[in-house]
């Protein structure tokens, strides 16, 4: 697909994706609001700028691969896939319904465009490593495997097993993106199970570490470009995001981790997405 959107246009797209997320979750009556909204800028940047992909040919063998490891935030991926043209936007409101391709947690075999099945946490990074190793065996270059992880998910041992392996094999075509929103189901990450010093932990495992504002479109795009240029080791981007970003009453509140808005809340949220003072810049420039 042609990727020629300006930063302002990408920000506008992210707002539309957030609107879709609110509508989907309201319709479904359950699902994860905070993480999905917080990741909207990253997923917009990925599908509309960063990834080599062909929405009409989801199996194109030159594509970059995007794995969503923390599968509970899949509403953002469904919305981004639909907006990018992988499937009709009208299907989004079937989320979590009987017979829908949009399962509560993503299932690869159900929906073209998904690269794996996830939900149980901690499994994405090692799949990315397996993919990268297979590419190396086949001497495939200039294809990248992006894997989006949650921060709460980093409690899982499987992540660190994979981190160690990717460091060992210097899998430079793996780019990890951590949604560092500081919340998980039971509360703030640092009280549930402290992750800091996260930056140094990844470095100690043999990774190059970047830190960005994960709600800043330009920073997301620049960090991924820098990550692709680093060929000595795998790169992880710690993307500091605001959980619930764009909806004032959800922002920073861990209670919205696993909750969907009701009708009234959704109405209020949609209204805010269009009027929020200065938080969605494109709306106000």
Binding string to Mg ion for residues 180 to 199, with x set by CB under 5 A, is what? -x-x----------------
Binding string to another protein for residues 161 to 180, with x set by CB under 8 A, is what? xx-xx---x-----------
When asked if residue 261 is in the footprint of Mg ion (CB under 5 A), the reply is no
Judge contact between 34 and 254, C-beta under 8 A: yes
Number of residues that bind another protein (CB under 8 A): 30
For residue 238 the two structure tokens come to 């710690």
Binding string to another protein for residues 143 to 162, with x set by CB under 8 A, is what? --------------xx--xx
Torsion of the alpha carbons at 17, 73, 23 and 244, rounded to the nearest 10: -80
When asked if residue 59 is in the footprint of another protein (CB under 8 A), the reply is no
Burial of 4 per CB tally in 10 Å (0-12, 13-18, 19+): exposed
Stretch that binds another protein, among 33-41, 123-131, 180-188, 256-264 (CB under 8 A): 123-131
When asked if residue 133 is in the footprint of another protein (CB under 8 A), the reply is yes
When asked if residue 116 is in the footprint of another protein (CB under 8 A), the reply is yes
* Residue whose tokens read 């949650």: 150
Given another protein, Mg ion, none, residue 167, with its beta carbon under 5 to 8 Å by kind, binds none
Stretch that binds Mg ion, among 55-63, 144-152, 206-214, 217-225 (CB under 5 A): 144-152
When asked if residue 229 is in the footprint of another protein (CB under 8 A), the reply is no
Given Mg ion, another protein, none, residue 137, with its beta carbon under 5 to 8 Å by kind, binds another protein
For another protein, the binding residue among 131, 175, 227, 280 (CB under 8 A) is 131
d(CA 257, CA 73): 9
Judge contact between 113 and 107, C-beta under 8 A: no
For another protein, the binding residue among 46, 80, 128, 212 (CB under 8 A) is 128
CB 125, min distance to another protein, A: 8
For Mg ion, the binding residue among 113, 122, 150, 244 (CB under 5 A) is 150
When asked if residue 120 is in the footprint of another protein (CB under 8 A), the reply is yes
For another protein, the binding residue among 129, 235, 260, 280 (CB under 8 A) is 129
When asked if residue 153 is in the footprint of Mg ion (CB under 5 A), the reply is no
d(CA 84, CA 58): 11
d(CA 222, CA 16): 22
What does the binding site for another protein look like in residue numbers (CB under 8 A)? 107-109, 115-120, 122-123, 126-135, 137-138, 157-158, 161-162, 164-165, 169
């Amino acid at each position: 697909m042609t990727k020629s959107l300006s930063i302002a246009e990408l920000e506008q797209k992210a707002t539309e994706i957030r609107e879709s997320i609110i509508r989907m979750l309201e319709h479904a009556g359950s699902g994860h609001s905070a993480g999905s909204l917080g990741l909207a800028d990253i997923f917009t940047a990925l599908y509309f700028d960063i990834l080599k992909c062909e929405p009409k040919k989801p199996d194109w063998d030159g594509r970059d691969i995007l794995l969503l490891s923390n599968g509970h935030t899949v509403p953002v991926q469904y919305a981004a896939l639909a907006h990018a043209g992988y499937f009709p936007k009208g299907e989004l409101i079937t989320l979590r319904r009987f017979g829908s391709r949009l399962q509560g947690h993503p299932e690869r075999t159900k929906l073209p465009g998904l690269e794996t099945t996830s939900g149980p946490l901690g499994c994405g990074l090692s799949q990315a490593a397996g993919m990268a190793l297979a590419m190396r065996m086949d001497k495939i270059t200039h294809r990248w495997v992006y894997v989006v992880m949650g921060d709460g998910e980093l409690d899982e041992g499987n992540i660190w097993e994979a981190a160690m392996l990717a460091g060992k094999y210097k899998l430079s075509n793996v780019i990890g993106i951590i949604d560092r929103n500081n919340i998980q189901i039971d509360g703030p990450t640092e009280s549930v199970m402290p992750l800091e010093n996260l930056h140094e932990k990844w470095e100690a495992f043999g990774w190059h570490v970047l830190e960005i504002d994960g709600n800043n479109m330009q920073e997301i795009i620049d960090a991924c470009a820098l990550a692709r240029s680093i060929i000595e080791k795998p790169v992880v981007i710690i993307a500091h995001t605001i959980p619930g970003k764009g909806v004032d009453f959800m922002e920073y509140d861990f209670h919205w981790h696993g909750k969907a808005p009701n009708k009234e809340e959704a109405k209020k949220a949609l209204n805010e997405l269009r009027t929020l003072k200065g938080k969605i810049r494109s709306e106000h420039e």
